[in-house]
Structure 1
Amino acid sequence: MKAPSAVIVLIVCLSAATPLLASSAVGDVVGKLTVGYQGWFGAKGDNSPHNSWIHWPHNSDHPYKDHTNFEIYPDTREYTHTYQTGYANLGNGQPAKLFSAWDKQTVDTHFKWMKEVTILNNIDTAALQRFASAVKRDPIDLKTLNGVADNVRAGAEAHDRKFYIMWDISNWNNFATEIIEDYDNNIKRLVSSKAYAHQNGKPVVCIWGFGFDDRPQDTKGAIALIEHFKQQGLYVSGGVGTQWRTDTTAWKDVFTKLDMLQPWTVGRYGNVKGAEDYKKTLEADHNTLKQHNIDYQPVLFAGSSWSNSHPASKRNENPRVHGDFMWRQFVNVRELDIPSCYVAMFDEYDEGTAIAKAAENKSMIPTDQYFLTMD
């Protein structure tokens, strides 16, 4: 089996031909399956401006036993370029190597997988993440980030997928002005791509982190940012907390300014029963947003765990149950006639939510380090 079972459940994603209820007509995000795409992995020797290990280990040192920041080991068999780690060999005797998103062929392979994920359906759109730490605080990181964005554009164009930019405002106190600067200086050039996602005839952007207690609380800045992008002719989506409907703070006025809401559910429930029970929230969210003429993009995830980066946490904390957990979430969306959804995440090997190809069993992981495998 080349694709993990969590990916196979995507056959139930909603196609453009399905007559479902939405505030907007089918476009590149409404009526489509979107995945979050981190693109943040780097490796020493990848010839990127950063040219060091990024996200795989706890710091820029190489990854090795007990110095590991990711939970799921990737299936690297289809990559042209991989980089030697400090782990012992894999169970099959092969050297333990990892990939870098700086390599164009690697990102191209990811978009090929999005197109080929099943015979009946595929992943339509990818939301490329951008963070303050790379955008504003380090010019080398910014250059690397922009290079990965170019790889994403090329991969989407080559495989007839769509992509758009999604800023995460975590630890970003000046997000309201600096995101505009980033769009003008770095992102606007991407919008001309034939692969850049449009909805209602407008380029799509997303800002994630509105209304969370541990994120910046600049509601006036958030409204100004949304209104600025709308004045520029953009379609603006927002990542919010799952309690958004009952929020009585100033954030409630931010939510109604958005074209689309995306409530974040990772960790909100962790088993099939919890996913089934959450259907009531999905229904209430959908009905409320239809009344406000706002599109709805519920978040689904395959499972999650992060015991390698947080040793005190439980291994396989929110298990995939061979795809049953994610299947239940798709069933909810289908039964409620919700036309759009967002899978978190395509390549989030760090916290165990990745749906990209991963180690199927112990033969595909280092013999000296625990990793969650698909069996």
Structure 2
Amino acid sequence: MTISRRSFLSLSAAVAATAAAAPSAASAVPMVPDAFGAAAVAVSPPGDVVGKITAGYQGWFACRGDGAPINLWWHWARQADQPPSITNSAIKSWPDTREYATTYGTGFPALNDGRLAHLFSSYDQQTVDVHFRWMAENGIHTAALQRFNPFGGEGPTRDAVADRVRSAAERTGRKYYIMYDVSDWLSMRTQITQDWATKMSAHTGSSAYARQNGMPVVGIWGFGFNDPQRPFTPEECQEVIDWFKGQGVYVMGGVPTWWRTLGEDSRQGFADVYRSFHMISPWLVGRISNVGGADQFYDVATVPDLAECNRLGIDYQPCVLPGDLQERHRAHGDFMWRQFYNHARAGVASAYISMFDEYNEGNQIAKTAATAGDVPAGSGIWALDEDGTACSSDYYLRLTNDGGRMLRGELPVTSLRPTPPQP
């Protein structure tokens, strides 16, 4: 199946013009930073999301034969009842699968180095354990577990993955919280509260469930976006936010990029809705793809967004994205580091990595095929060395670790990426 939450929306004219005119990522990075280390600003004290690195965690991959109720090649194949192959693929980046105890054969040719082209399942507890170990090793404190409409056919599998995430978080000392994505969920208004009350609120009994300001955290992604997938009125959305607040929940909102100005990707009439969240995280995927675009966003979005949040007493958690590997946005880490640097020089305290495991959309930071030898022959899938720079499969995890350290003041604020592509 295809989830179009991450589909590219139009950029603002200003950002598009700047990005089009920008030099390459490597040449656009100035040798000397143009600002140094404003102290990090946060409305709330440090908790499980404020002052922390959070990564969006899909957990949405399954394979035939893994025992998952969905019994499909979930998110690996366009025709999910058939094995993924060169002609039946939903994959944009190939995972490094060497640390998974169980993998599943596909219809792809062997990898260029001769290994069989196997994939992992998020339904396997060991898979989730590996992912959370990578988070623990690389400074990712919290996982936002994505939860799409759980009342359809994928619901039982999502319920099971939530249990696996709880177990992995408890074992690795990570935190997690439920993040609802309202895309294409037409009965969201009543079902989201039902799902929390009857199922997901039980997770708050875990020592690993994220809390902020003493309250369990719930994320809601998608209110106010100007597209037909999320047609909800401001009144419907406000009712849902108020309900969660009434349950004593700290509500994080994944909001449109232009939430503050109500332009471009935002509907009109949502100003009060956005400002009723405890924390907001404006979406960034599809808006920028190089250093020039990142710098323009610093001026037109990050700095004024942070000022508005501080004025209103709202916590601010902007996105950091590695870039779409298949579209060759990454510039061996310079693109991602520039976002971390811009957040640090603005005084941002928290960041949301989008995403941890999104191999089917190319925005993953989890371990990824490092070289052409690590991808299926003839697949056309790029590895991390696509621009000629050799990168280890864990490079974007290590880059995330250093970015978080810079935001916390453990590294100096610098535009020069300190993380070597190979350890």
TM over 0.5: yes
3-state SS, counterpart of residue 50 of structure 1: coil
Residues 253-279 of structure 1 show CA distances to partners (whole Å, capped at 9, x for unaligned) of: 101111011100111111011111211
Matches within 5 A, 1:48-87: 48-60=68-80, 61-87=82-108
* Distance apart, 1:249 and its partner CA: 2.1
Name 2:402's counterpart in structure 1.
none
TM-aligned CA deviation for residue 25 of structure 1: 0.5
Matches within 5 A, 1:263-274: 263-274=282-293
The equivalences for 1:7-86 within 5 A come to 20-60=40-80, 61-86=82-107
Is 1:116 matched with 2:129? no
Matches within 5 A, 1:156-167: 156-167=169-180
The corresponding residue for 2:360 is 350
The amino acid that maps onto 1:142 is G
Alignment match of 2:298 (pick from 273, 279, 292): 279
3-state SS in 2 of match to 1:164:
strand
Separation in structure 2 between the aligned mates of residue 38 and residue 271 of structure 1, nearest angstrom: 25
AA aligned to 2:120 is F
CA deviations 1:283-306 (Å, max 9, x no partner) are 00000011110000101100016x
- Aligned residue pairs total 340
Shift of 1:51: 2.1
Counterpart Cα distance in 2 of 1:348 and 1:250 = 32
State whether residues 40 and 344 of structure 2, in contact with CA within 8 Å, keep that contact through their aligned partners in structure 1. Answer: no
Q: Which amino acid aligns with 1:62?
A: P
Whole-Å separation in 2 of the counterparts to 1:50 and 1:213 = 31
Quote the Cα distance in structure 2 between the aligned partners of 1:71 and 1:317.
Answer: 9
Could you tell me how far apart the structure 1 residues matched to 2:107 and 2:199 are? 35
Per-residue deviation at 1:19? Answer: 5.9
Q: Report the counterpart of residue 121 of structure 2 in structure 1.
A: 100
Structure 2 residue matching 1:236: 3-state secondary structure: strand
2:215 corresponds to = 202
Whether the aligned pair in 1 keeps the contact of 2:43 and 2:314 (CA below 8 Å) is: yes
Distance 2:231 2:177 in 1: 23
SS of residue paired to 1:357: coil
Note the residue ranges of structure 1 that are not aligned, 5 or more in a row: 1-17, 306-315
In structure 2, how many angstroms separate the alpha carbons of the residues matched to 1:320 and 1:88?
26
2:234 to 219, 236, 246: 219
The answer to whether structure 1 residue 304 and structure 2 residue 317 are counterparts is no
Q: What is the Cα deviation at residue 188 of structure 1?
A: 1.1
User: How far is 1:147 from its partner?
Assistant: 0.6
Q: 1:327 aligns with which of 337, 340, 345?
A: 337
Runs of 4+ in 1 over 4 A off after TM superposition: none
1:100-179 equivalent positions in 2, closer than 5 A: 100-117=121-138, 122-132=139-149, 135-138=150-153, 141-179=154-192
How high is the TM-score relative to the length of structure 1? 0.89
The whole-number CA distance in structure 1 between the counterparts of 2:272 and 2:241 is 11
Distance (Å, rounded) in 1 between the aligned partners of 2:269 and 2:72? 42
User: Structure 1 residues 69, 186: closer, same or farther in 2, change over 3 A?
Assistant: same
The alignment-based identity, stated in percent, is 46
Superposed CA offset, 1:183-234 (max 9, x none): 1122011111000000000000011011111122321111111111111100
Shift of 1:318: 5.2
Task: Report the Cα offset of residue 66 of structure 1.
Answer: 2.1
Amino acid of the residue matched to residue 165 of structure 1?
Answer: I
Are the aligned partners of 1:129 and 1:168 in contact in 2 as well (CA < 8 Å)?
A: yes
Question: What secondary structure, in the 3-state scheme, does the structure 1 residue paired with 2:251 have?
Answer: strand
Partner of 2:246: 231
Contact 1:22 1:339 in 2 (8 A): yes
How far apart are the structure 2 equivalents of 1:260 and 1:236? 7
- SS of 2:85's equivalent? coil
1:252 to 261, 271, 296: 271
Q: Distance in 1 between matches of 2:376 and 2:337?
A: 29
Give the 3-state SS of the residue equivalent to 1:126 in structure 2. Answer: strand
Q: 1:231 to 1:249 in 2, by over 3 A?
A: same
Give the distance between the partners of 2:91 and 2:110, measured in 1 at CA: 17
Structure 1 residue 359 displacement after superposition: 0.3
Distance 2:83 2:231 in 1: 32
Aligned match of 2:374 in 351, 361, 364? Answer: 364
For the 8 Å contact 1:66–1:369, the answer to whether it is kept is no
SS in 1 for 2:191: helix
In the alignment, structure 2 segments of 5+ residues that lack a partner are 1-37, 386-423
Structure 1 residues 254 and 318: CA distance shift in structure 2, 3 A: farther
Which secondary structure does the structure 1 equivalent of 2:205 belong to? coil
CA distance in structure 1 between the partners assigned to 2:293 and 2:193 by the alignment: 38
Deviation at 1:98, TM superposition (A): 0.1
